[in-house]
Amino acid sequence: MKPIINYVDLFCGAGGLTLGFENKGFNNIFSLDVDQNFLKTYKYNFPNHNIIEEDIKLLTEKRVLKLIANTEVDVLAGGPPCQGFSIAGNIGRKFLSDPRNYLFEEFIRLTSIINPKFVVIENVERLYRNKIIKDEIINSLNKLGYTVDCKVLNTVDFRIPQKRRRVFFIASRVNKEIIFPFKSSNIDKTIKEAIGDLPKLNSGMRSDVENHEAMNHSHQMLEKMSYVKDGGDRFSIPKKIRPLTGDVRKYIRYNSNEPSICITGDMRKVFHYSQNRALTVRELARIQTFPDKFIFKGPKISQQQQIGNAVPPLLAEYVASAIIEMNENGK
């Protein structure tokens, strides 16, 4: 019988990483976030989890130790939001000491208190490209006795229908070598494969599928959409009505024969490959590999943000498998 792997999920959001870990048999000790709408979704889908709804900086050492209740935590995981990229490396100012990045600093603080076997940090790719920041994070974990490595994982390499590149830091205090998930497929999964079987919807229509409800677009927006073909962009729209925007991700149409572009917290101006509307919450969730039984709660824009901020559950499963292998090797 394989040992149970206990984990804590900080900045859990709606629960994408949680779902992947649960699917691999991990046991949740507690999860934490501050966004009430995100946690409505988390609580609905994980009703038996111990959920802490407060700012991480308010968690004292005494409270943390009470929460884990003498349980050995195998994995501490999370994706601390950070905004201080631009000034990182300036003389006299370090990344972790930047007030805007206190969440990262708090993550390291909780690591020192919980002392897990493994640490998993997920974040945006540009953090990986900044050597000063990357080294500072690695050094902060090294000082706590961890072997650390980091790697950018692209979701398309794991049959996830989306081009999404994220950096993962994996740290271990029981292994000398860090294991990352290996590319599982050379064949991309297209957006059409992922969502093509869902009921067709016009603007403003509902369906019997949970979270599959089309946004109600204006006549002006629908006219603009009509000019953009499968895989096309705003330059197909006549100049007299073409929106002026520097964002190349707006007023484009998904390419049915390719994986989706990266799902973010606002996809309202990216159009379905064949239907004149933005994608529904359920379609976005499928692209992120959430199953249809995973229900999103809260306002519609919050639901999109929940999905866009999440670690795709299938990718989390691959990361969990790497942790399982390291745990077995580290005995």
Q: What is the DSSP string of 193-236?
A: HHHTTSPP--TT---SSTT-------HHHHHHHHHPPTT--GGG
What's 311's DSSP letter?
P
Q: Which of 12, 82, 150, 262 is catalytic?
A: 82
First CA to last CA distance, the chain: 15
To the query of whether residue 12 is one of the catalytic residues in this protein, the response is: no
Q: Is 54 helix (H, G, I), strand (E, B) or coil?
A: coil
The neighbour count for residue 64, using CB atoms within 10 Å, is: 18
Q: Is 138 helix (H, G, I), strand (E, B) or coil?
A: helix
CA distance 147 to 302: 37
Contact 16, 310 (CB under 8 A): yes
Catalytic residues: 82
